[in-house]
Amino acid sequence: MHDPSGPIQVLHVADDPTLGDLTATYLERENDRITVETAADADEALERLDEAVDCVVADYEMPGRSGIELLEAVRVDYPDLPFILYTGKGSEEIASEAISAGVTDYLQKGGGDDQYAVLANRVVNAVEAARSQRLLARRTHRLERLIDNLPGMVYRCRNDPDWPMEAVEGEVEGLTGYDADALERGNVVWGADVIHPEDRDEVWERVQESIDDGGTFEVNYRIQSREGETRWVWERGRGVYEDGELVAIEGFITDVTERERREKRLAETTARLEALFEQSPDMINLHDAEGTISEPNARLCEKTGYSESELIGMKVWEIDRSLEPGAATQVWEQMAPGDSHRVETQYERADGSTFPVEAHIRRIDVDDETLFAVISRDITERKARERDLKRVRAEYEELIDGMNDTVWVISTDAEFLAVNDAAVERLGYDREELLGMGPHDIDVATDPEEITALIEEMPADGMQVFETVHETTDGERIPVEISSSLVSYRGETAILSVGRDISARKERERRLERFASIVSHDLRNPLNVAAGRLELAAEECESEHLDHVADAHDRMNALIDSLLGMAREGELATDPEPITLEPVAESAWSTVATGDATLQVTAAGTVMADRSRLTQLFENLFRNAVEHGSTGNQTQSGDAVEHGGPGVTITVGDLGDGFYVADDGPGVPQNERDSVFETGYTTGNGTGFGLAIVAQVADAHDWDVALTESEAGGARFEFTGVDTA
């Protein structure tokens, strides 16, 4: 079907017929475009699969083949057919496996019938996207025919000085002598092999200036064809942005060699004026083949202390004391017109003092006269930074060798430049062996291509954190958490990576995953069926008993959520790190249904804590203060002592040896304050786990927690004995 908005035929695959029928009923009710057929297992689904099916929705756990195995079988004959994995068993591992197998979308089952609205929306979006893609393919074919008739070539490339081409079309071979495949594969690099060497830097700078201003660009420059012929081209292009980020450049290039030949003479007559009188923060002078200065700019006069009249007629070696006249003239004689030469040297001022400069010398022949333009820049500050960097580098290398975590300094080409003692000891390699290796030699969980992508996508001013597995020389595999950031190492951009052994944490996560799987799959599925059937029953008859059943369902869901939270919070806080309280509190606040409540964070301190556990502590305290106060607006948790409500203001502030969370609600009676932290304690319909979890988190950190009265008369939870950073 070609109409993206037409009817949609869904094949739903589920091992539970009751749940399958319920899902079909809700999907067809949510969107009248959807028609659902059901299959009990993967084999039946494959038998019924044909061109009329627009989307497959499948559970993960089924008799015989799993949902992932069904997906792999479907992709053999229907590589573009939308496939949504809709399952009660959710984990990062399953999600990763599904993505690798080519899943279109991944949705975890939840409580309540609103999950079916989400599923219906995902189905419609996936089918419309697939149909639109097919329409786009046909339009692309028409566009390709148009491009074939253009007098030049169109391209898309990454924004890189080498101009790596992702796609080229048109008269590519006629313009350059190379075929399109050679450019797209990278066998021929536009910036290195095609653009004339003398034009590369100038073209790159002009394009970047235009893109930075958010507009299109037009540039003329020379290229060298495969046969060695120099040609002039005109290029017009633009930056391509996605979500505000520059991702590529697209443009059109055509041959303008004849036009440029006509304009060349005019350009030669203006070259001298452009070299001398363009406004520049750099020092500029023009001298002849004997080294006699003929035209200095104002910046050169300012930096050297000479007047313009004093500089005219001087020899360049009277300023640049490192030049030896004979050697200098020999270098100039070897330079062809257009050649350039870069040096670092020392200039001498009129008062005899000196300063370091970086000088660029370019030969410019005008009216049969050999001239040299010298553009120089004071690099005093840069030299000072280099000296500081050398000192800091020595201190830095001494520091990383004293760290307990493994530390690597990695080049942008994915090679180890330096490793600390801990890396040598834990991996079992000699230091010399490691320095001949790279991340791909020890990382057994990340593809080399992904490692390359991670290096290329390193943020310039932030940190990149991910988990992987390293293998020692004796075959032991160690799960690690890698934290990486860009640094300057020996004058080059490099990556500093710190690896923390998370073996104990991963084992805890595996135990929790097994527990969560039992709760999610074995308890939530029948509960979802019961809730769906209850709603259908309510449409057919009225009974006060149905409301009580709905309340019981809500209570069961709350108990399951709290039970999972209790299990996770029961884990010890074994990964303390320096944490600023304000961003963690605000992050936790964003996950709680706050209504018209207000959060004020006056805490400015940094504490040593496990980030995930501290976040859960704040979430439970915020939920306790906000939700319980309005009985008409309670969520499922209900884990609250009655001391807050709509309009409540919650404050997170510093203490001398910790922090507090206070509200301006009615507070907690004195005789109940010792009981609120007990498991199961609640004044309403809650599960009684919320504040018990708070107490467990505090105990895991060896903190003391006390419930007192706030200045506004509400509740104030004080946490003391907290290590600060």
- pLDDT digit string, tens, across residues 1-51: 567 788 999 999 988 888 888 888 989 998 999 999 999 899 999 998 987
Q: Report yes or no: 20 and 38 within 8 Å, Cβ to Cβ.
A: yes
Give CA angle at 277 (275, 279), nearest 5°.
Answer: 105
Residue with tokens 């964070």: 601
Q: How far is CA 144 from CA 150, 167, 174, 399, 579, in A?
A: 10, 12, 17, 58, 55
Q: Record the tokens describing residue 553, joined without a space.
A: 């369902």
Residues 6+ apart with CB under 8 A from 368: none
**By C-alpha distance, which of 58, 56, 8, 51 is closest to 32?**
8
pLDDT at 658 over 90: yes
pLDDT at residue 269 is higher than 70 = no
Tokens of 396: 């830095």
Which ranges in 49-185 belong to alpha helices (H)?
67-77, 92-100, 114-147, 172-176, 180-185
CB 406 within 8 A of CB 502: no
Amino acid 203: pLDDT: 93
State how far the Cα of 54 lies from the Cα of 36, in Å rounded to an integer. Answer: 10
Range from 173-177, 574-578, 602-606 carrying the lowest mean pLDDT: 574-578
49 φ/ψ angles, rounded to the nearest 5 degrees: -75, 130
pLDDT of 395 higher than 90: no
Greater confidence (628 vs 232) lies with 232
Give percent above pLDDT 70 in the chain. Answer: 85
Does the structure show a pLDDT above 70 at 570?
A: no
Contacts of 633 (CB under 8 A, 6+ apart): 595, 627, 646
Question: pLDDT value at position 653?
Answer: 95
| C-alpha span between 607 and 68 (Å, rounded) | 43
d(CA 431, CA 538): 72
Report the range of poorest mean pLDDT among 133-142, 257-266, 316-325, 392-401.
392-401
Rounded to whole angstroms, the Cα distance separating 661 from 717 reads: 5
DSSP 161-199: TT--EEEEEESHHHHHSS-HHHHHHTSS-IIIIIB-TTT
Stretch (H or E) spanning 612: helix 611-626
Q: Per the structure block, which two tokens stand in for 664?
A: 């301006």
Coil vs helix vs strand at 313: coil
User: What pLDDT was estimated at residue 292?
Assistant: 94
For residue 633, pLDDT beyond 60? no
Instruction: Please report the pLDDT score of residue 212 as a whole number.
Output: 82
Element (H, E) at 365: strand 354-366
Q: 530 or 311, which is more confident?
A: 311
pLDDT at residue 568 is higher than 50: yes
Asked whether the CA dihedral 329, 333, 335, 337 is positive or negative, the reply is positive
Check residue 686 and give its pLDDT.
56
Query: For 37, what's the count of Cα atoms within 13 Å in the CB-facing half-sphere?
Result: 17
Report the distance separating Cα 498 and Cα 500, nearest Å: 7
Does residue 175 have a pLDDT over 80? yes
Give pTM, 2 decimals.
0.31
Where residue 278 falls among pLDDT bands split at 50, 70, 90? low
Gyration radius of the chain's alpha carbons: 35
pLDDT higher than 90, residue 416: yes
Integer CA distances (angstroms), 132 to 3, 102, 119, 139, in order: 8, 18, 20, 11
Calculate the alpha carbon distances from 486 to 50, 72, 452, 490 in Å.
51, 39, 14, 13
Which pLDDT value is given to residue 389?
67
Three-state secondary structure along 561-581?
HHHHHHHHHCCCCCCEEEEEH
Contact present, 713 and 662 (Cβ < 8 Å) = no
In this predicted model, which residue has the larger pLDDT, 74 or 367? 74
Bridge partner list, 479: 469
Does residue 272 register a pLDDT over 60?
no
H-helix or E-strand spanning residue 25: helix 17-30
The confidence band for 244, taking pLDDT boundaries of 50, 70 and 90, is confident
Helix 690-700, helix 544-569: angle, nearest 10: 0
Report the pLDDT averaged over residues 213-224. Answer: 87
The predicted model gives 458-484 an average pLDDT of 91
Q: Which of 658, 643, 648, 650 is nearest to 600 (CA)?
A: 650
Give dist(CA 378, CA 573) in Å, integer: 54
pLDDT, the chain, mean: 84
Predicted local confidence at residue 142, as pLDDT: 60
Give the pLDDT of residue 540: 86
496 vs 488: CA distance, rounded Å: 9
In the chain, the domains with their CATH numbers are: 8-144 (3.40.50.2300), 153-255 (3.30.450.20), 283-378 (3.30.450.20), 392-501 (3.30.450.20), 509-720 (3.30.565.10)
Residue 553 has pLDDT above 80, yes or no: no
The pLDDT confidence band at residue 385, using thresholds 50, 70 and 90, is confident
pLDDT band at 636 (very low <50, low <70, confident <90, very high): very low
Among 153-162, 295-304, 645-654, the minimum mean pLDDT is found in: 645-654
Q: Which among 600, 707, 608 is positioned nearest to 657, based on CA atoms?
A: 608
pLDDT tens, position by position, 354-384: 999 999 999 988 777 889 989 999 999 988 8
pLDDT in tens, 668-714: 888 888 778 876 566 655 555 678 888 888 888 889 999 999 998 88
Task: Pull the structure tokens for residue 308.
Answer: 């313009």
Q: How confident is the model at residue 635 (pLDDT cuts 50, 70, 90)?
A: very low
Please tell me the predicted confidence (pLDDT) of residue 688: 58
Contact in structure between 78 and 49 (CB atoms under 8 Å): yes
For the chain, helix (H) and strand (E) counts, in that order, are 23, 27
Distance separating alpha carbons of residues 518 and 532, to the nearest angstrom: 21
Q: Give the burial string for 91-101 (b: 16+ CB within 10 Å, else e).
A: beebeebbeeb
User: What does the pLDDT read at residue 639?
Assistant: 46
Do 11 and 81 meet the contact criterion of CB atoms below 8 Å apart?
A: no
Model confidence at 107, pLDDT cuts 50, 70, 90, reads: confident
| Closest among 544, 546, 542, 522 to 533, alpha carbons compared | 546
More confident residue, 206 or 512: 206
pLDDT band at 55 (very low <50, low <70, confident <90, very high): very high
How many residues are recorded in the chain? Answer: 725
Q: End-to-end alpha-carbon separation of the chain, Å?
A: 62
| Statement: residue 632 has pLDDT above 50 | no
Cβ atoms within 10 Å of 555's Cβ, excluding its own:
15
Query: Which span out of 242-246, 308-312, 629-633 was modeled with the highest average pLDDT?
Result: 308-312
552: region left, alpha or beta (phi > 0 left; psi from -120 to 50 alpha): alpha
Residue 338 clears pLDDT 50, i.e. is over it? yes
Q: Can you tell me the mean pLDDT for 262-270? A: 62
Q: Is residue 427 within 8 Å of residue 406, measured between CB atoms?
A: yes
Do the beta carbons of residue 27 and residue 8 sit within 8 Å? no
Torsion of CA 573, 579, 582, 583, to 10 degrees: -90
Which among 624, 703, 589 is positioned nearest to 657, based on CA atoms?
A: 703
At 154, give phi and psi (nearest 5°): -110, 155
Judge whether residue 277 has pLDDT over 60.
no
Lowest-pLDDT choice from 216-230, 333-347, 412-426, 502-516: 502-516
Average confidence (pLDDT) over 263-271: 61
Give the sheet arrangement for strand 406-411, strand by strand.
Answer: 416-419, 406-411, 492-501, 477-489, 464-471
Written as one string, the DSSP assignment of 231-245 is: EEEEEEEEEEEETTE
Provide the pLDDT for residue 644.
43
